[in-house]
Amino acid sequence: MSRKKAVCILSGGMDSSLSSYIAKKEDGYDIIAVHFNYGQRTEKRELEAFRNICEDLDIKEKYEIDIPFFTQIGASALTDKTIEVPTQGVKPGVPITYVPFRNGIFLSIATAIAEKEEAEAIFIGVVEEDSSGYPDCTDSFIEKMTSAINQGTKESTKIKIKTPLVKLMKRDIVKRALELKVPLEHTWSCYKEEEEACGVCDSCRLRLNGFKEANAIDPIPYKD
C-alpha cells in the first residue's frame, strides 16, 4: 500500500521548516520538498538551509527550482538591490520586502509537482497572525488558491493546501519547533545577510521576539 505524499514548500526558514516537520512527524506524509531560488538577497544561505533540513528529515525527493523573473519584476527589497531592506521595525501595511504574488506563484509550481507526483497535500508555512503583513499569507488567500488549483487540474487530482502555522504567534512557532526537535540552528530567516543575521530586518525582529517570548535562545549567529 502506497503512503500518502505531500509537497512541502521549504525555504529553509523557521516557519517552513516547522511546517515540514509537522507534515512528516505529526501527519505522517512522505515529503517531496520544493525550494525556490528567486534572486533573493540570501539565496545561497537559504539553499544551504534547505539542504540541511532535507538531510535532517531524511527527505529523498526534492526539487530546487530557479525563478529568475522575480528580479526582472523587482518592486521588492528582497529581489531589487537598489531598494534598501527596512531596519526600523515592523510597521503597519504591506512592507517593501513583499515580493509581488510570490506565494501564489510558489503554490502554482508546487501544484504542478503535486499533480505529477500524485501528492494529496501541499504544506506552506505562512503565518497570518504574527507576520510582516503580506497579503499572500492569509487564510482567505489560501482558501481561494485551493479552489483555483483544484479547478485547474485533472478531475482525479485532489489537493489540500495545509497551513499548520497560519494562526500561530511566533512564540508558539518557536515552542512547537523545540517540541518537535526542529534543528533551528540549520534554519535561516534574515532578509539581508548570509554569514551572521542582521538582527534588525523585519524577519529577524519577528524571529528574535518569538524566541524571547518563548524564553528560548536562538541558536543562529547574529551581528553584534
pLDDT band at 171 (very low <50, low <70, confident <90, very high): very high
* 222 inside domain: no
- For residue 195, give the C-alpha cell: 554569514
Which distant-in-sequence residues (6+ apart) come within 8 Å of 149 by Cβ? Answer: 107, 108, 111, 159, 161
C-alpha 69: how far from chain center: 19
- The CATH code of the domain that includes 14 is 3.40.50.620
C-alpha 160: how far from chain center: 17
Q: Is residue 183 packed enough to be buried (19+ CB in 10 Å), middle (13-18) or exposed (0-12)?
A: middle
Segment 16-40 mean pLDDT: 98
Residue numbers belonging to the annotated binding site for Zn(2+)? 190, 198, 201, 204
Residue numbers belonging to the annotated binding site? 10-20, 190, 198, 201, 204
* 75 inside domain: yes
* 124 inside domain: yes
pLDDT band at 224 (very low <50, low <70, confident <90, very high): confident
* 78 inside domain: yes
At 101-140, the pLDDT tens digits run 999 999 999 999 999 999 999 999 999 987 789 999 999 9
Domains: count for the chain: 1
* 19 inside domain: yes
* 20 inside domain: yes
Residue numbers belonging to the annotated binding site for ATP? 10-20
Q: Is the pLDDT of residue 2 over 70?
A: no
Provide the residue range defining the domain that includes 80: 5-169
In SS3 terms, 97-157 reads as CCCCCHHHHHHHHHHHHHHHHCCCEEECCCCCCCCCCCHHHCHHHHHHHHHHHHHCCCCCC
